[in-house]
Amino acid sequence: MYEVEVKVAADLDAVADRLAELGAEQTGDVVQVDTYYDAPHRDFAETDEALRVRRETRDGETTARMTYKGPLVEAESKTREEYETGVDDGETTDTIFERLGFEPAATVRKDRRFYRYDGYTVTLDAVEDVGEFVEVEVETDRGDVEAAREGAFEVLRELGLDPQDQTRTSYLGMLLEDTP
Amino acid sequence: MYEVEVKVAADLDAVADRLAELGAEQTGDVVQVDTYYDAPHRDFAETDEALRVRRETRDGETTARMTYKGPLVEAESKTREEYETGVDDGETTDTIFERLGFEPAATVRKDRRFYRYDGYTVTLDAVEDVGEFVEVEVETDRGDVEAAREGAFEVLRELGLDPQDQTRTSYLGMLLEDTP
């Protein structure tokens, strides 16, 4: 399974208005607090991998999950292999990775509003200490990546955004860039 | 939290009879399939740590959890730090560790019958390709380890077993010893 994801900086109020005009369905909103880990045996910045433990609070209830993201397989749309599973206890998961020698590298906090539009997930992200962004995302098989990416660009255009403004830097990367 | 655990080889039918005589409550039985991992950056045999993903089938339903076990803090009773959390998907958990460079080292399969007796958990283990064992176990604070260990020895004696027969080798260790 591949995740095709296109992200641009945007004014979230303007995009929310446009989504309402288009009749897009708002499917939820969450607060996510993500801890990213450095590995003891390889440099994830070098290998282009990520290990994350995410806490997500929705309707007052917090769940946790852990995610491994592999290197890019398709650079244009930031497509990468992703493995994720829910965990019963986020703190214990943190502790297990720390005992194994992984070290917390950074924490990314964001408010996310999710919409469903034309088969895509459109996410409005307000990222603490980073800024406001819109992500257009879909999961697809490897053979359909190109078509999925073109569709994501079309959704951006309908939202009054320019696919040329796409940023391939992760929120983690942006946060670390801003860190002196 | 510390786990005090004492284990001896035993004839399980004889011990089950003795537990019935003592009025111990059988609290359940499960099949456990444990995958142990080798780390890419240190030798767990050397550091005396373990990383395990366990599948447990109880009443036809399979759950999974991951566990980190730290080095011994009290050799006599095999007391070690343990961190464990349930995971929604055991296969994904395996894949995440494998992508991070951990390699499956061995798989231990066992049928376990659990009893509750005198505040202790007594477990009757039939371990595939290894043998039959009884474990007497309790969780305790660090300060109470010695008393907990003495209590576990007393339970073994009541079951007709000799604490002197205690083995400190894990099932994983026994399985690997038997592997040519």
Three-state secondary structure string covering B68-120: EEEEEEEHHHCEEEEEEEEECCHHHHHHHHHHCCCEEEEEEEEEEEEEEECCE
Cβ of A83 within 8 Å of Cβ of B95? The answer is: yes
What are the beta bridge partners of residue B15?
none
Closest approach of chain B CAs to the CA of A61, in angstroms?
17
End-to-end CA distance of chain B: 37
pLDDT, residue B133, reads 98
Nearest CA in chain A to B52: A96
| Mean pLDDT of the region A13-21 | 97
Give dist(CA A170, CA A110) in Å, integer: 13
Q: Is the pLDDT of residue B87 over 90?
A: yes
- Is B171 a residue of the active site? no
Work out the angle at residue B42's Cα, subtended by the Cα atoms of residues B40 and B43, and round it to the nearest 5 degrees.
105
Host H or E run for residue B127:
strand B120-127
**Cα Rg of chain A, angstroms:** 16
Structure tokens at A132: 């406001």
Nearest CA in chain B to A39: B100
Task: Write the pLDDT tens digit of every residue in A50-71.
Answer: 999 999 999 999 999 999 999 9
Cβ contacts (< 8 Å) between B81 and chain A: which residues?
99
User: At which residue do the structure tokens 């995740």 appear?
Assistant: A3
| Cβ(B172)–Cβ(B36) below 8 Å | yes
Cβ contacts (< 8 Å) between B86 and chain A: which residues?
87-89
Task: Write the pLDDT tens digit of every residue in B94-103.
Answer: 999 999 999 9
Sign of the alpha-carbon torsion through A33, A48, B93, B1:
negative
* B143 CB-side CA count, 13 A: 0
ipTM: 0.76
Cβ contacts (< 8 Å) between B65 and chain A: which residues?
88
Mutate to test the interface with A, among B52, B100, B103 (most CBs of A within 10 A): B100
When CB atoms are compared, the residue of A40, A84, A95 closest to B83 is: A95
Closest approach of chain A CAs to the CA of B96, in angstroms?
6
3-state secondary structure of B177: helix
3-state secondary structure of B47: helix
User: At which residue do the structure tokens 């906090």 appear?
Assistant: A109
Closest approach of chain A CAs to the CA of B164, in angstroms?
33
pLDDT-wise least confident of A122-131, B40-49, B83-92, B96-105: B40-49
Mutate to test the interface with B, among A80, A92, A95 (most CBs of B within 10 A): A92
Closest approach of chain B CAs to the CA of A73, in angstroms?
15
When CB atoms are compared, the residue of A70, A92, A101 closest to B83 is: A92
Structure tokens at A19: 């989504």
Task: Write the pLDDT tens digit of every residue in B34-81.
Answer: 999 999 999 998 999 999 999 999 989 999 999 999 998 876 656 789
Q: What is the band of B178 on the pLDDT scale with cuts at 50, 70, 90?
A: low
Rounded to whole angstroms, what are the CA distances from A178 to A111, A171, A174? 19, 11, 6
Interface residue ranges in chain B relative to chain A, Cβ cutoff 8 Å: 39-42, 49, 51, 65-68, 70, 81, 83-89, 92-93, 95-96, 99-101
3-state secondary structure of B146: helix
Give dist(CA B149, CA B143) in Å, integer: 12
